[in-house]
Chains A and B, each alone.
Chain A
Amino acid sequence: MTEPQTLSLGDTAATDRAGRLRAVLSRRTEGRAVVLLAVVFVMALALEPLVFTAYEVTLGRVALIGLVALGLTAVILMGELDLSVASTLAVSGVVMASVPNIYAGIAAALVVGLLIGAVNAFFVVKIGINSFIATLGMLFVLRGLAFVLSGEQPVRLTNIEAGIAFGRPLVGPVSPRILLFVLVFIALQVFVTRMRVGREFYAVGGNRQAARDAGIPVDRRVFTGFMISGFVASLAGVINTLELTAADPTAGGTVLLASFAAAIIGGVALKGGRGSIVGTLLGALSLGTIEVGLTLSGVQVDIQQVFIGGVLLIAVITDPASLREATANFRLFRRREPEVQS
């Protein structure tokens, strides 16, 4: 990565080996994800090696969590939030299943995703609402829309054959779902690191005013980000519908937490400007492995949620910026205490 964090490796503190290791683990965006992934892999090897034997299951789970997380990363990089991804997934699935022709349905679903992204961006950019509120409103609207369109019942796919064909692995364990996930990953990775428009996302998230002064069309970048997020969420909806051969208006309920968790564990900063697609992938890999590992060990779904919630909580408070705040706070306290007493 070419973020400024890499520069700080040259600090005097980082010259000795321990300091260097600490710098890599805490400063580098993906540091915590690497640690978590290593811990998860070692524990899985020791306790439940089946995770790796049944890697098809694991990869499938990773792909579902990771896909939405990848789209979200594009938005969060600019310091915005998109809470509507789960509802977008549900609506696009329902739209797809409602169209008789499967290809037309997929196309319609993806167009719906892009449209939703554009509407979100319209409220954020043109009207200037906080993206958290705009996408919260859209969450309600889209959830309602999914219920209205589907008549509050799961919609069966007319062409069930296509759905079954979609579930079959192409080569080895690689099912179309995993293939699509990898393609989206590569596309976004290239977009964010190698293309000018994508690299400008970091500038927009780091300091919006500075980006504007430097001549970056900030509004257009935010539009692009939301459309990426909407498109990827609808793609996830299409995949979900194909695999279940039906569209459920309540689909995507658990996706919101898992996808945010994957991005944040991967080191994407919610304030924007820091994060990477690779980090999100690592986050999704560790979360998917935890989930499948716990399931195979016979741990109840409820306890799995406790685990993932705990991992997310630890991830968000061990963010380098958060840790700095906490230690600064502590110092402030110690300095202030005598003043209070005198």
Chain B
Amino acid sequence: MNDSTPTATTAAEPEAAAPAPVDRSVAILVWVSQRGVFLFTATLIVFASVFVNGFASFVNLTDVFYRAAPIGIVAVGMTFVVISGNYLDLSVVAQVATSAVILIAVSNEYGIFPAVLAALLVAAVYGLVNGIAVGYFKANAVIVTLSTTYIGLGILRWLSGGSIFFGPEDGPIRALGQVEVLGLPLSAVVLVVMALLLAFMLDRTNFGFTIRAFGSNNEATRLAGVNTSRVVVGAFLLTSVAAMVAGFVLAAFSNTAVSTMADGFDFGALAAIIIGGTSVFGGRGSILRTLLGVIFVSVLTNVLVLSGVGFGWQQMAIGLLIVVAVSLDTIARKVATS
């Protein structure tokens, strides 16, 4: 399946390059902008393992996985919203935090199954509100999810009083957080499973196909007889479920939950998606690309931290990456089509 993903997204490349005597530099530009993330991720990892002290140790790589997993799960889910052409879901910040707090706080009182049920309910409400406002009312996704973020975070902080919740040391959540599969933390396994599942949905099911079609040309998709509003609701629901899982992973990792624990997940996940090469105009992109984007950003952050670079510079690096990645893509497409 992973083999098919890049070929699907790069299928447009031969077409673009086909009108024969295209300039050599243009071809290189198109190639880099299409495959860039594969190239850069590989280069960065090789560079880091050779030059950065302490990068290629087992402890450090496990740490990278631990940190990358929750935001990665959010990002693979949000890829659906981005491919459907609706920019992003900002409310993942509120969703991840709510799901984490519910998992710890509710399971402390009533046990783990009511907690999971409650979190599912919350995810459904988020997905439906966002999806209906964007899908049926055609409201701008940025503004809709911005407002649901504030509503959700406000309610969460009010109900939780901003306090930190701890799970019992011998509880099931603690146990899950410490499970390791083949030396990898369970959270990394969850990320891979989610990515495989969602990649299957995006590339092999009717739903995924419709999302891509809607993102490429929503009017044509609607005229083809697809209930496009329902497809948008589906994309947002999927993102909400992914955010819920990310909240579980985050809570299990530390056995604690606070309302502020997912701050920065919104733009962080979007940055990974964009750097992976998924187009924010919708239609083009893949789960594999998002996964690579997540790996790239987390390895880069890890390298910067190991090299003693401060928070400010890290933020600037990510911002520059976004602008450069999208500029490259835009210029390549402009040159290729002209």
Known: A141-B319, A144-B319, A322-B138. A152 touches B146 (CB 8 A): no
Which residues of chain A are near B229, meaning CB under 8 Å?
329
User: Which of A129, A300, A313 makes the CB contact (< 8 A) with B147?
Assistant: A313
Q: Check: A137 CB closer than 8 A to any chain B CB.
A: yes
B140–A152 CB distance below 8 A = no
Which residues of chain A are near B322, meaning CB under 8 Å?
133, 136-137, 140
Q: Mark B293-328, 1 if CB is under 8 A from A, else 0.
A: 000000000000000001111111111111100110
A132 to B274 CA separation, bound complex (whole angstroms): 12
A139–B267 CB distance below 8 A = yes
Closest to B268 in A: A140
Which residues of chain B are near A290, meaning CB under 8 Å?
none
User: Which of A134, A138, A148 makes the CB contact (< 8 A) with B312?
Assistant: A148
Q: Mark A199-238, 1 if CB is under 8 A from B, else 0.
A: 0000000000000000000000000000000000000000
Which residues of chain B are near A139, meaning CB under 8 Å?
267, 319
Q: Check: A23 CB closer than 8 A to any chain B CB.
A: no
Q: Check: A128 CB closer than 8 A to any chain B CB.
A: yes
Which residues of chain B are near A303, meaning CB under 8 Å?
154, 158
B150–A309 CB distance below 8 A = yes
Nearest chain A CB to B301's CB is how many angstroms away? 12
A332 to B329 CA separation, bound complex (whole angstroms): 37
Known: A303-B158, A313-B151. A138 touches B274 (CB 8 A): no
Q: Count of A residues near B, CB < 8 Å?
A: 53
Nearest chain A CB to B252's CB is how many angstroms away? 26
Q: How many A-B residue pairs have CB under 8 A?
A: 156
Closest to A309 in B: B150
Q: Check: A270 CB closer than 8 A to any chain B CB.
A: yes
A123 to B329 CA separation, bound complex (whole angstroms): 13
A58 to B291 CA separation, bound complex (whole angstroms): 48
User: Which of A137, A144, A308 makes the CB contact (< 8 A) with B150?
Assistant: A308
A199 to B319 CA separation, bound complex (whole angstroms): 33
Q: Count of B residues near A, CB < 8 Å?
A: 50
A302 to B271 CA separation, bound complex (whole angstroms): 28
* Chain A facing B: main interface SS: helix
B330–A129 CB distance below 8 A = yes
- Interface-centre pick from A134, A317, A323 (highest chain B CB count, 10 A): A317
A300 to B129 CA separation, bound complex (whole angstroms): 24
Q: Check: A257 CB closer than 8 A to any chain B CB.
A: yes
Nearest chain A CB to B85's CB is how many angstroms away? 11
Which residues of chain B are near A249, meaning CB under 8 Å?
312
Nearest chain B CB to A253's CB is how many angstroms away? 10
B146–A140 CB distance below 8 A = no
A140–B315 CB distance below 8 A = yes
User: Which of A147, A270, A321 makes the CB contact (< 8 A) with B311?
Assistant: A147
Q: Check: B192 CB closer than 8 A to any chain A CB.
A: no
B312–A136 CB distance below 8 A = no
Known: A309-B150, A323-B137. A141 touches B280 (CB 8 A): no
Which 5 residue pairs are nearest across A and B when measured between Cβ atoms?
A: A140-B319, A147-B312, A144-B315, A309-B150, A144-B316
Beyond the given pairs A139-B319, A309-B146, 6 more chain A to chain B contacts, judged by CB atoms under 8 angstroms and listed by A's residue number, are A132-B87, A133-B274, A141-B315, A144-B317, A144-B319, A306-B151
Q: Could you show 11 A-B contacts with beta carbons less than 8 Å apart?
A: A133-B322, A139-B267, A143-B319, A144-B316, A270-B143, A305-B150, A308-B150, A316-B137, A317-B137, A329-B136, A333-B227
